[in-house]
Amino acid sequence: MTASDPRPVVEAVWRMESARIVAALARMVGDVGLAEELAQDTLVIALEQWPAQGIPQHPASWLMATAKHRAIDALRRQGRYRQKLDEVGRATPDAEEPDVAADLDDYVGDDLLRLIFTTCHPVLSTEARVALTLRLLGGLSTEEIARAYLASDAAVGQRITRAKRTLAERKVAIELPPPAEAAERLASVLEVIYLIFNEGYSATAGEDWIRPSLCEEALRLGRVLATLAPHEPEVHGLVALMELQASRIPARTGPDGAAILLQDQDRRRWDRLLIRRGTQALVRTKGTLGPYTLQASIAACHAAASRPEDTDWTRIAALYEVLAHVSPSPIVDLNRAVAVGNAHDPARGLAIVDGLDLPNYPLLPAVRGDLLAKLGRTAEARQEFQRAAAMTANARQRTLFEARAAACQ
Amino acid sequence: MRYLIMLKGDRPAAPPPPELMEAIMNLGAEASAAGALLDTAGLSPSAAGARVRLYGGQLSVTDGPFAEAKETISYALYQVRSKEEAVEWASRFLALHRDLWPDWQGEADVLKVMGPEDFG
Protein backbone atom coordinates (compact mmCIF):
# COMPACT_ATOMS: atom_id res chain seq x y z
CA MET A 1 0.00 0.00 0.00
CA THR A 2 1.32 3.41 -0.86
CA ALA A 3 2.19 5.91 1.81
CA SER A 4 -0.06 8.51 0.21
CA ASP A 5 -3.13 9.92 1.94
CA PRO A 6 -4.57 7.05 3.99
CA ARG A 7 -7.83 8.90 4.59
CA PRO A 8 -9.80 7.15 1.79
CA VAL A 9 -8.49 3.82 3.07
CA VAL A 10 -9.56 4.58 6.64
CA GLU A 11 -12.98 5.64 5.45
CA ALA A 12 -13.46 2.62 3.18
CA VAL A 13 -12.45 0.15 5.88
CA TRP A 14 -14.58 1.96 8.41
CA ARG A 15 -17.59 1.86 6.14
CA MET A 16 -17.09 -1.85 5.54
CA GLU A 17 -16.85 -2.53 9.28
CA SER A 18 -19.06 0.15 10.82
CA ALA A 19 -22.25 -1.92 10.96
CA ARG A 20 -20.48 -4.78 12.73
CA ILE A 21 -18.78 -2.35 15.09
CA VAL A 22 -21.97 -0.44 15.93
CA ALA A 23 -23.78 -3.77 16.36
CA ALA A 24 -21.16 -5.13 18.77
CA LEU A 25 -21.04 -1.88 20.74
CA ALA A 26 -24.83 -1.64 20.86
CA ARG A 27 -24.92 -5.01 22.63
CA MET A 28 -22.19 -3.91 25.06
CA VAL A 29 -23.70 -0.53 25.99
CA GLY A 30 -27.36 -1.28 25.27
CA ASP A 31 -28.00 1.92 23.31
CA VAL A 32 -27.68 2.46 19.58
CA GLY A 33 -27.09 6.20 19.92
CA LEU A 34 -24.19 5.75 22.30
CA ALA A 35 -22.88 2.83 20.23
CA GLU A 36 -22.79 5.02 17.15
CA GLU A 37 -21.02 7.82 19.00
CA LEU A 38 -18.36 5.42 20.26
CA ALA A 39 -17.95 3.99 16.75
CA GLN A 40 -17.53 7.53 15.38
CA ASP A 41 -14.89 8.19 18.04
CA THR A 42 -13.06 5.14 16.74
CA LEU A 43 -13.10 6.49 13.22
CA VAL A 44 -11.66 9.77 14.48
CA ILE A 45 -8.87 7.90 16.30
CA ALA A 46 -8.06 5.95 13.14
CA LEU A 47 -8.01 9.13 11.07
CA GLU A 48 -5.54 10.61 13.56
CA GLN A 49 -3.32 7.59 14.08
CA TRP A 50 -3.12 5.80 10.74
CA PRO A 51 -1.57 8.67 8.79
CA ALA A 52 1.10 9.06 11.48
CA GLN A 53 1.74 5.44 12.42
CA GLY A 54 0.82 3.67 9.20
CA ILE A 55 -2.14 1.46 8.41
CA PRO A 56 -2.34 -1.49 10.82
CA GLN A 57 -1.61 -4.98 9.50
CA HIS A 58 -5.23 -5.96 10.13
CA PRO A 59 -7.22 -2.73 9.88
CA ALA A 60 -10.64 -4.30 10.50
CA SER A 61 -9.53 -6.04 13.72
CA TRP A 62 -7.81 -2.85 14.85
CA LEU A 63 -11.04 -0.87 14.45
CA MET A 64 -13.13 -3.46 16.31
CA ALA A 65 -10.62 -3.79 19.19
CA THR A 66 -10.26 -0.03 19.55
CA ALA A 67 -14.03 0.46 19.48
CA LYS A 68 -14.52 -2.14 22.19
CA HIS A 69 -11.97 -0.46 24.41
CA ARG A 70 -13.89 2.77 23.99
CA ALA A 71 -17.07 0.95 25.01
CA ILE A 72 -15.42 -0.55 28.08
CA ASP A 73 -14.19 2.92 29.06
CA ALA A 74 -17.68 4.29 28.61
CA LEU A 75 -19.21 1.51 30.72
CA ARG A 76 -16.62 2.10 33.41
CA ARG A 77 -17.35 5.82 33.45
CA GLN A 78 -21.01 4.99 33.92
CA GLY A 79 -20.14 2.58 36.74
CA ARG A 80 -21.68 -0.26 34.80
CA TYR A 81 -18.51 -2.19 34.09
CA ARG A 82 -18.84 -4.50 37.12
CA GLN A 83 -22.46 -5.17 36.27
CA LYS A 84 -21.51 -6.02 32.71
CA LEU A 85 -18.83 -8.38 33.93
CA ASP A 86 -21.45 -10.16 36.02
CA GLU A 87 -23.69 -10.42 33.01
CA VAL A 88 -21.05 -12.15 30.95
CA GLY A 89 -20.34 -14.50 33.86
CA ARG A 90 -16.66 -13.86 34.31
CA ALA A 91 -16.88 -11.78 37.45
CA THR A 92 -13.79 -12.88 39.27
CA PRO A 93 -12.12 -10.24 41.44
CA ASP A 94 -9.08 -10.09 39.20
CA ALA A 95 -10.82 -10.40 35.86
CA GLU A 96 -8.74 -8.97 33.07
CA GLU A 97 -10.18 -6.31 30.87
CA PRO A 98 -9.70 -8.20 27.62
CA ASP A 99 -11.96 -10.95 28.95
CA VAL A 100 -14.92 -8.66 28.47
CA ALA A 101 -13.93 -7.92 24.93
CA ALA A 102 -13.24 -11.59 24.24
CA ASP A 103 -16.52 -12.71 25.74
CA LEU A 104 -18.44 -10.10 23.90
CA ASP A 105 -16.63 -10.92 20.70
CA ASP A 106 -18.08 -14.05 19.25
CA TYR A 107 -21.55 -13.33 18.00
CA VAL A 108 -21.07 -10.62 15.42
CA GLY A 109 -23.70 -12.21 13.17
CA ASP A 110 -26.33 -12.17 15.90
CA ASP A 111 -25.31 -8.62 16.78
CA LEU A 112 -26.01 -7.47 13.23
CA LEU A 113 -29.35 -9.23 13.22
CA ARG A 114 -30.29 -7.63 16.54
CA LEU A 115 -29.28 -4.24 15.16
CA ILE A 116 -31.41 -4.65 12.00
CA PHE A 117 -34.43 -5.63 14.08
CA THR A 118 -33.83 -2.57 16.25
CA THR A 119 -33.45 -0.03 13.43
CA CYS A 120 -36.59 -1.49 11.80
CA HIS A 121 -38.55 -1.52 15.08
CA PRO A 122 -42.29 -0.74 14.79
CA VAL A 123 -42.08 2.06 17.40
CA LEU A 124 -40.36 4.09 14.67
CA SER A 125 -42.05 5.67 11.68
CA THR A 126 -41.28 4.12 8.31
CA GLU A 127 -39.10 7.09 7.29
CA ALA A 128 -37.19 6.83 10.56
CA ARG A 129 -36.62 3.09 10.08
CA VAL A 130 -35.28 3.68 6.57
CA ALA A 131 -32.96 6.51 7.63
CA LEU A 132 -31.64 4.73 10.72
CA THR A 133 -31.06 1.50 8.78
CA LEU A 134 -29.14 3.30 6.06
CA ARG A 135 -27.13 5.14 8.68
CA LEU A 136 -26.26 2.28 11.03
CA LEU A 137 -26.27 -0.74 8.71
CA GLY A 138 -25.33 0.97 5.46
CA GLY A 139 -22.76 3.28 7.01
CA LEU A 140 -24.19 6.19 4.97
CA SER A 141 -23.67 9.68 6.33
CA THR A 142 -26.60 11.97 7.05
CA GLU A 143 -25.61 14.03 4.00
CA GLU A 144 -25.63 10.96 1.75
CA ILE A 145 -29.05 9.87 2.98
CA ALA A 146 -30.37 13.40 2.47
CA ARG A 147 -29.03 13.48 -1.09
CA ALA A 148 -30.46 10.04 -1.82
CA TYR A 149 -33.90 11.06 -0.58
CA LEU A 150 -33.85 14.59 -1.99
CA ALA A 151 -34.28 15.90 1.56
CA SER A 152 -32.35 18.49 3.56
CA ASP A 153 -29.44 17.46 5.79
CA ALA A 154 -31.21 19.06 8.75
CA ALA A 155 -34.41 17.10 8.18
CA VAL A 156 -32.62 13.76 7.89
CA GLY A 157 -30.33 14.54 10.83
CA GLN A 158 -33.34 15.35 12.96
CA ARG A 159 -35.13 12.19 11.84
CA ILE A 160 -32.16 10.05 12.89
CA THR A 161 -31.67 11.84 16.20
CA ARG A 162 -35.34 11.52 17.03
CA ALA A 163 -35.34 7.84 16.06
CA LYS A 164 -32.45 7.10 18.40
CA ARG A 165 -34.16 9.04 21.18
CA THR A 166 -37.42 7.15 20.63
CA LEU A 167 -35.61 3.83 20.89
CA ALA A 168 -34.02 4.94 24.17
CA GLU A 169 -37.18 6.47 25.63
CA ARG A 170 -39.33 3.49 24.75
CA LYS A 171 -36.61 1.28 26.22
CA VAL A 172 -36.46 -0.86 23.10
CA ALA A 173 -34.15 -3.73 23.94
CA ILE A 174 -31.53 -4.52 21.32
CA GLU A 175 -32.50 -8.13 20.90
CA LEU A 176 -34.09 -10.60 18.53
CA PRO A 177 -37.88 -10.39 18.59
CA PRO A 178 -39.76 -12.87 20.78
CA PRO A 179 -41.36 -15.72 18.79
CA ALA A 180 -44.84 -14.19 19.01
CA GLU A 181 -43.63 -11.05 17.23
CA ALA A 182 -41.07 -12.64 14.94
CA ALA A 183 -43.14 -12.73 11.75
CA GLU A 184 -44.36 -9.15 12.01
CA ARG A 185 -40.91 -7.84 12.94
CA LEU A 186 -39.25 -9.67 10.05
CA ALA A 187 -41.88 -8.24 7.71
CA SER A 188 -40.87 -4.76 8.87
CA VAL A 189 -37.19 -5.47 8.16
CA LEU A 190 -37.99 -6.78 4.68
CA GLU A 191 -40.26 -3.81 4.00
CA VAL A 192 -37.52 -1.33 4.93
CA ILE A 193 -34.99 -3.04 2.66
CA TYR A 194 -37.45 -3.20 -0.24
CA LEU A 195 -38.40 0.46 0.25
CA ILE A 196 -34.72 1.39 -0.04
CA PHE A 197 -34.46 -0.72 -3.19
CA ASN A 198 -37.51 0.88 -4.76
CA GLU A 199 -36.31 4.38 -3.97
CA GLY A 200 -33.20 3.59 -6.00
CA TYR A 201 -35.15 1.76 -8.70
CA SER A 202 -37.40 4.75 -9.23
CA ALA A 203 -34.45 7.09 -9.76
CA THR A 204 -34.14 8.21 -13.34
CA ALA A 205 -31.03 8.49 -15.47
CA GLY A 206 -29.01 11.64 -14.97
CA GLU A 207 -29.94 11.95 -11.31
CA ASP A 208 -27.32 12.06 -8.59
CA TRP A 209 -25.51 8.68 -8.70
CA ILE A 210 -26.32 8.09 -5.06
CA ARG A 211 -30.00 7.48 -5.78
CA PRO A 212 -29.59 4.48 -8.08
CA SER A 213 -26.88 3.23 -5.72
CA LEU A 214 -29.64 2.69 -3.14
CA CYS A 215 -30.52 -0.43 -5.17
CA GLU A 216 -27.04 -1.79 -4.58
CA GLU A 217 -27.24 -0.91 -0.90
CA ALA A 218 -30.61 -2.66 -0.52
CA LEU A 219 -29.27 -5.70 -2.35
CA ARG A 220 -26.24 -5.74 -0.08
CA LEU A 221 -28.45 -5.53 3.03
CA GLY A 222 -30.65 -8.30 1.64
CA ARG A 223 -27.66 -10.56 0.98
CA VAL A 224 -26.34 -9.87 4.48
CA LEU A 225 -29.74 -10.71 5.96
CA ALA A 226 -29.95 -13.91 3.90
CA THR A 227 -26.71 -15.08 5.51
CA LEU A 228 -27.88 -14.10 8.99
CA ALA A 229 -31.35 -15.61 8.68
CA PRO A 230 -30.94 -18.43 6.16
CA HIS A 231 -34.02 -20.31 7.34
CA GLU A 232 -36.47 -17.52 6.52
CA PRO A 233 -37.84 -18.21 3.02
CA GLU A 234 -39.14 -14.68 2.53
CA VAL A 235 -35.64 -13.24 3.06
CA HIS A 236 -34.48 -15.30 0.09
CA GLY A 237 -37.68 -14.31 -1.73
CA LEU A 238 -36.87 -10.64 -1.27
CA VAL A 239 -33.24 -11.14 -2.32
CA ALA A 240 -34.42 -13.05 -5.40
CA LEU A 241 -36.88 -10.29 -6.26
CA MET A 242 -34.26 -7.56 -5.93
CA GLU A 243 -31.59 -9.50 -7.87
CA LEU A 244 -34.05 -10.17 -10.70
CA GLN A 245 -35.36 -6.62 -10.83
CA ALA A 246 -31.83 -5.21 -10.68
CA SER A 247 -30.86 -7.48 -13.60
CA ARG A 248 -33.00 -5.27 -15.84
CA ILE A 249 -31.41 -1.97 -14.80
CA PRO A 250 -29.00 -1.88 -17.79
CA ALA A 251 -31.95 -2.26 -20.19
CA ARG A 252 -34.69 -0.18 -18.66
CA THR A 253 -33.59 3.26 -19.84
CA GLY A 254 -32.66 4.38 -23.31
CA PRO A 255 -29.62 6.49 -24.24
CA ASP A 256 -31.80 9.62 -23.80
CA GLY A 257 -32.83 8.50 -20.31
CA ALA A 258 -36.36 7.59 -21.35
CA ALA A 259 -37.96 4.63 -19.59
CA ILE A 260 -38.23 1.44 -21.65
CA LEU A 261 -41.07 -0.94 -20.81
CA LEU A 262 -40.33 -4.56 -20.07
CA GLN A 263 -41.67 -5.84 -23.39
CA ASP A 264 -39.53 -3.33 -25.33
CA GLN A 265 -36.24 -3.90 -23.49
CA ASP A 266 -33.18 -5.27 -25.26
CA ARG A 267 -32.99 -8.47 -23.24
CA ARG A 268 -29.38 -9.08 -24.25
CA ARG A 269 -28.54 -6.23 -21.89
CA TRP A 270 -30.04 -7.93 -18.86
CA ASP A 271 -27.44 -8.80 -16.26
CA ARG A 272 -27.02 -12.58 -16.53
CA LEU A 273 -25.10 -12.81 -13.25
CA LEU A 274 -27.94 -11.19 -11.30
CA ILE A 275 -30.52 -13.37 -13.05
CA ARG A 276 -28.52 -16.44 -12.04
CA ARG A 277 -28.19 -15.20 -8.46
CA GLY A 278 -31.89 -14.35 -8.31
CA THR A 279 -32.87 -17.74 -9.62
CA GLN A 280 -30.60 -19.42 -7.08
CA ALA A 281 -32.10 -17.35 -4.24
CA LEU A 282 -35.55 -18.39 -5.42
CA VAL A 283 -34.59 -22.06 -5.06
CA ARG A 284 -33.85 -21.38 -1.38
CA THR A 285 -37.48 -20.32 -0.81
CA LYS A 286 -38.30 -24.04 -1.13
CA GLY A 287 -41.68 -23.65 -2.78
CA THR A 288 -43.13 -21.33 -0.14
CA LEU A 289 -45.70 -18.77 -1.23
CA GLY A 290 -44.88 -15.55 0.59
CA PRO A 291 -45.51 -12.26 -1.19
CA TYR A 292 -41.84 -11.56 -2.00
CA THR A 293 -41.29 -15.10 -3.19
CA LEU A 294 -44.35 -14.90 -5.45
CA GLN A 295 -43.24 -11.59 -6.91
CA ALA A 296 -39.76 -13.03 -7.45
CA SER A 297 -41.29 -16.06 -9.18
CA ILE A 298 -43.11 -13.70 -11.53
CA ALA A 299 -39.90 -11.78 -12.20
CA ALA A 300 -38.16 -15.11 -12.86
CA CYS A 301 -40.77 -15.93 -15.53
CA HIS A 302 -39.85 -12.73 -17.34
CA ALA A 303 -36.14 -13.39 -16.88
CA ALA A 304 -36.52 -16.84 -18.39
CA ALA A 305 -38.01 -15.49 -21.62
CA SER A 306 -35.31 -14.45 -24.06
CA ARG A 307 -37.99 -12.89 -26.29
CA PRO A 308 -41.21 -11.20 -25.05
CA GLU A 309 -43.32 -13.69 -27.03
CA ASP A 310 -41.70 -16.55 -25.09
CA THR A 311 -43.14 -15.24 -21.81
CA ASP A 312 -45.12 -17.85 -19.89
CA TRP A 313 -48.15 -15.61 -19.25
CA THR A 314 -50.29 -18.51 -18.09
CA ARG A 315 -47.88 -19.16 -15.23
CA ILE A 316 -47.60 -15.45 -14.46
CA ALA A 317 -51.41 -15.10 -14.37
CA ALA A 318 -51.58 -18.08 -11.99
CA LEU A 319 -48.88 -16.58 -9.74
CA TYR A 320 -50.75 -13.26 -9.62
CA GLU A 321 -53.89 -15.18 -8.72
CA VAL A 322 -52.08 -16.63 -5.69
CA LEU A 323 -50.48 -13.28 -4.85
CA ALA A 324 -53.93 -11.64 -4.90
CA HIS A 325 -54.95 -14.07 -2.14
CA VAL A 326 -51.74 -13.82 -0.09
CA SER A 327 -51.37 -10.08 -0.36
CA PRO A 328 -54.52 -8.53 -1.81
CA SER A 329 -54.23 -5.08 -3.36
CA PRO A 330 -55.72 -3.30 -6.37
CA ILE A 331 -52.18 -2.94 -7.81
CA VAL A 332 -51.75 -6.71 -7.74
CA ASP A 333 -55.13 -7.08 -9.44
CA LEU A 334 -54.11 -4.57 -12.10
CA ASN A 335 -51.02 -6.64 -12.84
CA ARG A 336 -53.13 -9.77 -12.80
CA ALA A 337 -55.37 -8.15 -15.42
CA VAL A 338 -52.34 -7.58 -17.66
CA ALA A 339 -51.23 -11.20 -17.23
CA VAL A 340 -54.72 -12.58 -17.83
CA GLY A 341 -55.08 -10.35 -20.88
CA ASN A 342 -51.85 -11.74 -22.29
CA ALA A 343 -52.38 -15.35 -21.23
CA HIS A 344 -56.02 -15.86 -22.08
CA ASP A 345 -58.17 -13.08 -23.42
CA PRO A 346 -57.91 -9.26 -23.31
CA ALA A 347 -61.64 -9.11 -22.55
CA ARG A 348 -61.13 -11.10 -19.35
CA GLY A 349 -58.30 -8.77 -18.38
CA LEU A 350 -60.56 -5.80 -19.05
CA ALA A 351 -63.28 -7.26 -16.82
CA ILE A 352 -60.77 -7.40 -13.94
CA VAL A 353 -59.65 -3.80 -14.53
CA ASP A 354 -63.25 -2.57 -14.61
CA GLY A 355 -63.78 -3.95 -11.12
CA LEU A 356 -60.88 -1.94 -9.66
CA ASP A 357 -61.03 1.24 -7.63
CA LEU A 358 -57.72 3.05 -8.17
CA PRO A 359 -58.45 6.75 -8.44
CA ASN A 360 -55.74 8.93 -9.97
CA TYR A 361 -53.52 5.96 -10.71
CA PRO A 362 -52.25 6.57 -14.27
CA LEU A 363 -51.36 2.94 -14.89
CA LEU A 364 -55.03 1.97 -14.61
CA PRO A 365 -56.14 3.84 -17.76
CA ALA A 366 -52.84 2.82 -19.40
CA VAL A 367 -53.59 -0.88 -18.82
CA ARG A 368 -57.20 -0.36 -19.95
CA GLY A 369 -55.89 1.34 -23.08
CA ASP A 370 -53.56 -1.55 -23.80
CA LEU A 371 -56.30 -4.15 -23.39
CA LEU A 372 -58.74 -2.12 -25.49
CA ALA A 373 -56.12 -1.74 -28.23
CA LYS A 374 -55.64 -5.52 -28.22
CA LEU A 375 -59.41 -5.89 -28.67
CA GLY A 376 -59.30 -3.53 -31.64
CA ARG A 377 -61.29 -0.82 -29.81
CA THR A 378 -58.77 1.84 -30.85
CA ALA A 379 -60.84 4.98 -30.27
CA GLU A 380 -61.51 3.97 -26.64
CA ALA A 381 -57.90 2.92 -26.26
CA ARG A 382 -56.69 6.33 -27.40
CA GLN A 383 -58.92 8.04 -24.86
CA GLU A 384 -57.54 5.87 -22.08
CA PHE A 385 -53.92 6.64 -22.99
CA GLN A 386 -54.78 10.34 -23.09
CA ARG A 387 -56.32 10.06 -19.62
CA ALA A 388 -53.20 8.29 -18.39
CA ALA A 389 -50.97 11.01 -19.87
CA ALA A 390 -53.04 13.73 -18.19
CA MET A 391 -52.90 11.93 -14.85
CA THR A 392 -49.18 11.20 -14.49
CA ALA A 393 -46.76 13.59 -12.82
CA ASN A 394 -43.80 11.81 -14.39
CA ALA A 395 -42.68 13.53 -17.62
CA ARG A 396 -41.12 10.40 -19.12
CA GLN A 397 -44.24 8.37 -18.41
CA ARG A 398 -46.34 11.08 -20.04
CA THR A 399 -44.24 10.92 -23.22
CA LEU A 400 -44.76 7.17 -23.28
CA PHE A 401 -48.55 7.40 -22.87
CA GLU A 402 -48.84 10.18 -25.44
CA ALA A 403 -46.92 8.03 -27.92
CA ARG A 404 -49.30 5.12 -27.25
CA ALA A 405 -52.30 7.43 -27.75
CA ALA A 406 -50.86 8.73 -31.03
CA ALA A 407 -50.32 5.16 -32.21
CA CYS A 408 -54.04 4.34 -31.76
CA GLN A 409 -55.28 5.21 -35.24
CA MET B 1 -20.00 -0.84 -8.67
CA ARG B 2 -18.20 -4.04 -9.46
CA TYR B 3 -14.54 -4.88 -9.46
CA LEU B 4 -12.78 -7.91 -10.86
CA ILE B 5 -9.77 -8.94 -8.82
CA MET B 6 -7.24 -11.13 -10.63
CA LEU B 7 -4.56 -12.77 -8.53
CA LYS B 8 -1.24 -13.24 -10.31
CA GLY B 9 1.99 -14.77 -9.19
CA ASP B 10 4.53 -17.50 -9.62
CA ARG B 11 3.16 -20.96 -9.49
CA PRO B 12 5.32 -22.58 -6.80
CA ALA B 13 6.29 -26.24 -6.90
CA ALA B 14 4.71 -27.00 -3.54
CA PRO B 15 0.95 -26.66 -2.95
CA PRO B 16 -0.23 -23.85 -0.67
CA PRO B 17 -0.39 -24.68 3.05
CA PRO B 18 -3.77 -26.03 4.17
CA GLU B 19 -4.07 -23.22 6.75
CA LEU B 20 -4.00 -20.71 3.89
CA MET B 21 -6.69 -22.54 1.96
CA GLU B 22 -8.82 -22.64 5.11
CA ALA B 23 -8.28 -18.92 5.69
CA ILE B 24 -9.16 -18.16 2.05
CA MET B 25 -12.38 -20.12 2.41
CA ASN B 26 -13.22 -18.16 5.56
CA LEU B 27 -12.49 -14.85 3.88
CA GLY B 28 -14.70 -15.88 0.97
CA ALA B 29 -17.52 -16.75 3.37
CA GLU B 30 -17.06 -13.43 5.15
CA ALA B 31 -17.09 -11.47 1.89
CA SER B 32 -20.22 -13.32 0.76
CA ALA B 33 -21.92 -12.66 4.10
CA ALA B 34 -21.03 -8.99 3.70
CA GLY B 35 -22.92 -9.01 0.41
CA ALA B 36 -19.73 -8.10 -1.43
CA LEU B 37 -18.43 -11.26 -3.12
CA LEU B 38 -20.50 -12.18 -6.17
CA ASP B 39 -18.38 -14.87 -7.72
CA THR B 40 -14.93 -16.38 -7.38
CA ALA B 41 -12.93 -19.39 -8.55
CA GLY B 42 -9.38 -20.63 -8.85
CA LEU B 43 -7.82 -21.01 -12.28
CA SER B 44 -5.88 -24.00 -13.58
CA PRO B 45 -2.37 -23.34 -14.88
CA SER B 46 -2.31 -21.77 -18.33
CA ALA B 47 -0.87 -25.06 -19.61
CA ALA B 48 -4.47 -26.30 -19.49
CA GLY B 49 -5.72 -23.36 -21.53
CA ALA B 50 -5.15 -21.66 -24.85
CA ARG B 51 -4.88 -18.21 -26.35
CA VAL B 52 -6.87 -17.09 -29.37
CA ARG B 53 -5.25 -14.19 -31.16
CA LEU B 54 -6.13 -11.76 -33.92
CA TYR B 55 -3.24 -9.91 -35.53
CA GLY B 56 -2.98 -8.60 -39.06
CA GLY B 57 -6.44 -9.94 -39.81
CA GLN B 58 -5.38 -13.49 -38.96
CA LEU B 59 -6.94 -15.62 -36.22
CA SER B 60 -4.60 -18.08 -34.55
CA VAL B 61 -4.86 -20.41 -31.60
CA THR B 62 -1.92 -21.21 -29.36
CA ASP B 63 -2.11 -23.78 -26.58
CA GLY B 64 -0.80 -22.86 -23.12
CA PRO B 65 1.37 -22.45 -21.17
CA PHE B 66 1.67 -18.74 -21.85
CA ALA B 67 5.07 -17.14 -22.08
CA GLU B 68 4.50 -14.70 -19.19
CA ALA B 69 6.48 -15.28 -16.02
CA LYS B 70 3.36 -14.84 -13.88
CA GLU B 71 0.29 -17.02 -14.00
CA THR B 72 -3.24 -15.81 -13.32
CA ILE B 73 -4.23 -17.88 -10.30
CA SER B 74 -7.77 -16.88 -9.41
CA TYR B 75 -10.45 -14.30 -10.00
CA ALA B 76 -13.05 -12.75 -7.75
CA LEU B 77 -15.93 -10.47 -8.65
CA TYR B 78 -16.92 -7.98 -5.95
CA GLN B 79 -19.82 -5.60 -5.52
CA VAL B 80 -18.51 -2.63 -3.55
CA ARG B 81 -19.18 1.03 -2.91
CA SER B 82 -15.76 2.40 -3.83
CA LYS B 83 -12.44 1.43 -5.34
CA GLU B 84 -10.92 1.59 -1.86
CA GLU B 85 -13.28 -1.18 -0.71
CA ALA B 86 -12.20 -3.40 -3.59
CA VAL B 87 -8.56 -2.65 -2.78
CA GLU B 88 -9.25 -3.53 0.87
CA TRP B 89 -10.68 -6.95 -0.07
CA ALA B 90 -7.64 -7.57 -2.30
CA SER B 91 -5.36 -6.46 0.54
CA ARG B 92 -7.06 -8.85 2.98
CA PHE B 93 -6.58 -11.65 0.48
CA LEU B 94 -2.88 -10.90 0.03
CA ALA B 95 -2.44 -10.38 3.80
CA LEU B 96 -3.53 -14.00 4.29
CA HIS B 97 -0.74 -15.07 1.95
CA ARG B 98 1.71 -12.83 3.81
CA ASP B 99 0.71 -14.31 7.17
CA LEU B 100 0.36 -17.97 6.18
CA TRP B 101 2.61 -18.55 3.18
CA PRO B 102 5.67 -16.32 3.61
CA ASP B 103 7.51 -17.79 0.59
CA TRP B 104 4.84 -16.78 -1.89
CA GLN B 105 4.80 -13.48 -3.71
CA GLY B 106 2.51 -12.02 -6.28
CA GLU B 107 0.00 -9.33 -7.01
CA ALA B 108 -3.68 -8.70 -7.44
CA ASP B 109 -5.00 -6.52 -10.23
CA VAL B 110 -8.12 -4.63 -9.15
CA LEU B 111 -10.09 -3.83 -12.31
CA LYS B 112 -13.34 -1.89 -12.44
CA VAL B 113 -16.15 -3.58 -14.29
CA MET B 114 -17.89 -1.05 -16.48
CA GLY B 115 -21.33 -0.23 -15.09
CA PRO B 116 -24.21 2.20 -15.49
CA GLU B 117 -22.22 4.81 -13.53
CA ASP B 118 -19.66 4.88 -16.38
CA PHE B 119 -22.26 6.03 -18.90
CA GLY B 120 -24.38 9.16 -19.07
Which of A12, A222, A249 is nearest residue B82 as measured by Cβ atoms? A12
Position A343 scores a pLDDT of 94
Position A108 scores a pLDDT of 62
**pLDDT tier at B116 (50, 70, 90 boundaries)?**
confident
pLDDT in tens, A223-275: 999 999 999 999 999 999 999 999 999 898 888 777 788 989 999 999 999 99
Out of A52-56, B88-92, B107-111, which region has the weakest mean confidence (pLDDT)?
A: A52-56
Between the ranges A88-92, A100-104, A211-215, A306-310, where is the mean pLDDT highest?
A: A306-310
d(CA B27, CA A80): 35
d(CA A353, CA A375): 14
In chain B, what percentage of residues exceed pLDDT 90? Answer: 84
- Determine, for residues A223 and B32 on separate chains, whether the beta-carbon distance falls below 8 Å: yes
Check if the beta carbon of residue A145 is closer than 8 Å to that of residue A41.
no
Q: How many residues does chain B have?
A: 120
- CA of B17 vs chain A CAs: smallest distance (Å): 21
- Determine, for residues A223 and B82 on separate chains, whether the beta-carbon distance falls below 8 Å: no
Q: Can you spell out the DSSP letters for A176-217? A: PPPHHHHHHHHHHHHHHHHHHHHHHHTPPTTS-TTTTHHHHH
pLDDT at B104 over 70: yes
- Determine, for residues A212 and B95 on separate chains, whether the beta-carbon distance falls below 8 Å: no
d(CA A290, CA A218): 19
DSSP state of B47: G
**pLDDT tier at A99 (50, 70, 90 boundaries)?**
very low
Position A258 scores a pLDDT of 75
The mean per-residue pLDDT over the stretch A6-25 comes to: 92
Position A97 scores a pLDDT of 45
Give the gyration radius of chain A's Cα atoms: 25
Position A409 scores a pLDDT of 81
In chain A, what percentage of residues exceed pLDDT 90? Answer: 73
pLDDT at A400 over 90: no
- Determine, for residues A273 and B81 on separate chains, whether the beta-carbon distance falls below 8 Å: no
Position A177 scores a pLDDT of 93
Contact list in B for residue A57 (CB cut-off 8 A) is 95
Contact list in B for residue A212 (CB cut-off 8 A) is 116-117
The mean per-residue pLDDT over the stretch A344-368 comes to: 94
Phi and psi torsions of A206, nearest 5°: 90, -15
Interface test with A, best of B84, B98, B110, B113 (most A CBs within 10 A): B84
Position A84 scores a pLDDT of 64
- CA of A99 vs chain B CAs: smallest distance (Å): 24
pLDDT in tens, A156-183: 999 999 999 999 999 999 999 999 999 9
Q: What would be the CATH architecture of the domain defined by A7-91?
A: Orthogonal Bundle (1.10)
Tell me which chain A residue has its CA closest to the CA of residue B77: A273
Contact list in B for residue A257 (CB cut-off 8 A) is 120
The partner residues of B63 in beta bridges, in order of sequence, read B50
Position A96 scores a pLDDT of 43
Position A396 scores a pLDDT of 78
Which of A1, A11, A216 is nearest residue B79 as measured by Cβ atoms? A216
pLDDT in tens, B38-49: 999 999 999 999
Position A95 scores a pLDDT of 40
Which of A205, A217, A228 is nearest residue B120 as measured by Cβ atoms? A205
pLDDT at A206 over 90: no
Contact list in B for residue A12 (CB cut-off 8 A) is 82, 84-85, 87-88
**pLDDT tier at A55 (50, 70, 90 boundaries)?**
confident
pLDDT at A286 over 90: yes
Tell me which chain B residue has its CA closest to the CA of residue A139: B81
**pLDDT tier at A204 (50, 70, 90 boundaries)?**
low
DSSP state of A65: H
d(CA B81, CA A144): 13
Q: Where are the domains of chain A?
A: 7-91, 359-409
Q: Cα–Cα–Cα angle for A195, A137, B23, nearest 5°?
A: 125
Domains observed in chain B: 2-118 (3.30.70.1060)
**pLDDT tier at A81 (50, 70, 90 boundaries)?**
low
Check if the beta carbon of residue A303 is closer than 8 Å to that of residue A315.
no
pLDDT at A79 over 80: no
